[in-house]
Amino acid sequence: MRHRRCKRVGNRKTQKKQRKYYSGKKKKHTVKAQIIIKRGAKKILKTNFCNGKKHDFKLYKESKVTLRKETLQEADTGYLGIQKLHENSVIPKKKSKKHPLTKEEKKYNHELSKQRIEVENVLASLKRFRILSDRYRNRRRRFGLRFNIIAGIYNYEL
């Protein structure tokens, strides 16, 4: 018995739109959300969204976030090169195959992760709403609106 290839559903225009949101890394259609959080107050300050294909740092550059120079900005390793845009920013050191981390660099990363745990806790509480953790099955156009409503609910609970 021969296996047949499935026919493509929809016209080329909808296929092109879907292709924009397809992430080859995750092997599914994705939407990316970027969140700026005030660490001490655990308050969500700004959100930004794009297709899941786009790199984190490219999304940051396109969002044109403006912070004061004295504001400390902590980011994860997806934002390499952020020091060129904002001098007062901190990211963890990355290891490579040829250059493993020294004990001092590991200690630096550990201290940084202790500070960032508040931000990770905010993200975990947002994932309870299932919009970030599960597959989003509604209209992509309304993802930003719904996420901002959830962020507003979270800030209101504070």
DSSP labels for 65-107?
----TTS-EE--GGGTTGGGT-SSEE------SSSPPPHHHHH
Q: How many other CB atoms are found less than 10 A from the CB of residue 33? A: 19
Residue 120 lies in a domain: yes
Question: Do residues 78 and 56 touch, judged by C-beta distance below 8 A?
Answer: yes
Count the domains in the chain.
1
Q: Is residue 8 part of a domain?
A: no
Residue (of 156, 143, 118) closest to 34 by Cα position = 143
69-93 CB burial, b ≥16 within 10 A, e <16? eeeebbbeeebeebeeebeebebbe
Residue 129 lies in domain = 25-152
- In this prediction, residues 53-79 reach a mean pLDDT of 88
Classified as helix, coil or strand, 43 is strand
Is 10 inside a domain boundary?
A: no
pLDDT of residue 43 exceeding 90, the answer is yes
In this predicted structure, the answer to whether residue 7 has a pLDDT above a threshold of 70 is: no
CA distance 107 to 121: 21
Q: Residue 29 pLDDT > 80, yes or no?
A: no
Q: Are 92 and 113 in contact (CB under 8 A)?
A: yes
Mean pLDDT of the region 80-102:
91
In this structure, is residue 74 part of a structural domain?
yes
Min mean pLDDT across 18-22, 72-76, 117-121, 123-127 is at 18-22
Provide the pLDDT for residue 106: 96
pLDDT, residue 101, reads 94
pLDDT at 13: 67
Q: pLDDT by residue (tens digit) across 130-150?
A: 888 777 777 778 888 999 999
Residue 154 has pLDDT above 90, yes or no: yes
